[in-house]
Structure 1
Amino acid sequence: MIMKFASYLVIFFTIFFHCSNGSNLIHQSCMEASESDPNLRYDFCVASLEDGSSKRQPPPTNLEDLVGMSIQLTKSNATNMVSIISELLKSKGFDQYAKGCLKDCFDLFKDSLSELDDAVVAFKSKDLNTAAIKMSATLDNSVTCEDQFKDKKGEKSPLTKENHDYYQLNVISLAFVQMFHQHY
């Protein structure tokens, strides 16, 4: 009975330490990245990565795992953007101008998926310069999408929050690739 209890205790502390270690890694990495990049919000970084790591087994234990996870989160968000925009394009609540903007946004995020796939491949093969270039190539897509709506007076983007979140996730991924490059 005591041996069984001791075994459970060892398993509990191993899991606790492993999860705690992942959380510390996220906090430390987000802090370092936010100090070096004024576009990166620490609180968003921590919240999105902790949420992402809770859905991932096992949680990241080193910077390389964290970079991979952040790129995958950015890619997942781009996939979600394509889906959201696709649904908005089916809606009858937009005029021709807004539909044109949404179509352009759809194309931007669809293209992002290819670039993000290339970034994943480059990162996995330790081609960090190419990974950073591919991440940079997708960085402004959300800004471009958002700005299109501003070109017509009175037009409001239905994607403001989503564009902001995508931009932040992309900034995080790019900052982490650069951090990994410095430590690699």
Structure 2
Amino acid sequence: MILHSVRSANDIVQDTCNKIAASDPELNFDFCVKSLGSDPKSHEVDLEGLGLIGVELLQANFTGTIEYIKQLLKKKLEPPLLKALSHCLDVYTSAERKDLISLYQAKRYGEVNIYVTKMMNSEEACDPQSSEKGSIVPPLTKPNADIYQFCIIVLDIMNIL
């Protein structure tokens, strides 16, 4: 029985990531499985619980990226990079929502959707590949990509719910 429940739990991560990947070509399947599966609780939750794990990971990464940008701004960097990082900090800070986890737990998915979409837009505003001004922010490439993936995961799980 224990082996069966562990197998089922592993399957929910795989199944959910498969379902999301089938409907959203921008999802990195391996990132999804690795991220959601990294939380020990993912082996004991249902889809709603898996969504909460995604929200927690998104929130942590988003806040961590803001702190990372603040640290970068303390370094002596070239003025164009400092300007771009400063802009990204403004954009990220304006999208930060402290009670995202509480909103999700209260099943206020519409509000969560609004804030996650803002977070996704913040990532896009600081993505060097989609920057209209051509300002490149290489130190944010990985954190931006991770946030984008977490946003996809959270939004798509809420769509399934």
Give the TM-score of the pair, scaled to structure 2: 0.87
CA apart distance, 1:173: 0.8
Aligned residues: 160
Higher Rg of the two aligned structures = 1
Q: Which residue does 1:61 correspond to in 2?
A: 45
Q: Tell me which residue corresponds to 1:50.
A: 37
- Whether the 8 Å contact between 2:9 and 2:42 is mirrored in structure 1 is no
Classify 1:110/1:17 alpha carbon distance in 2 versus 1 (closer, same or farther; 3 Å).
Answer: farther
**Is 2:111 the counterpart of 1:140?**
no
Unpaired runs of at least 5, structure 2: none
Matches within 5 A, 1:92-107: 92=76, 94-107=77-90
Q: Give the alignment's Cα RMSD to 1 decimal.
A: 2.2
Larger % of helix: which? 1
**8 Å contact 2:58–2:151 — kept in the other structure?**
yes
- Amino acid aligned to 1:110: T
Task: Spell out the pairing of 1:119-130 with structure 2 (5 A cutoff).
Answer: 119-130=100-111
Deviation at 1:152, TM superposition (A): 4.3
CA distance in 2, matches of 1:126, 1:157: 36
Alignment partner for residue 68 of structure 2, among 62, 84, 88?
84
Amino acid at match of 1:113: E
Deviations 1:56-115 (A, max 9, x none): x474420010011101100010111012111111111x122211111121222223331x
The CA distance in 2 between the partners of 1:18 and 1:35, in whole Å, is 25
* CA pair 39-80 structure 1, distance change in 2 beyond 3 A: same
Q: Which residue of 2 aligns with 1:8?
A: none
Question: How do 1:1-184 residues align onto structure 2 when only pairs under 5 Å count?
Answer: 14=2, 16-51=3-38, 53-54=39-40, 57=41, 59-92=43-76, 94-114=77-97, 117-147=98-128, 151-152=133-134, 155=136, 157-180=138-161
Give the % identical residues: 24
Aligned 8 A contact 1:118 1:134 in 2: no
- Structure 1 runs not aligned, ≥5 long: 1-12
How far apart are the structure 2 equivalents of 1:58 and 1:143? 28
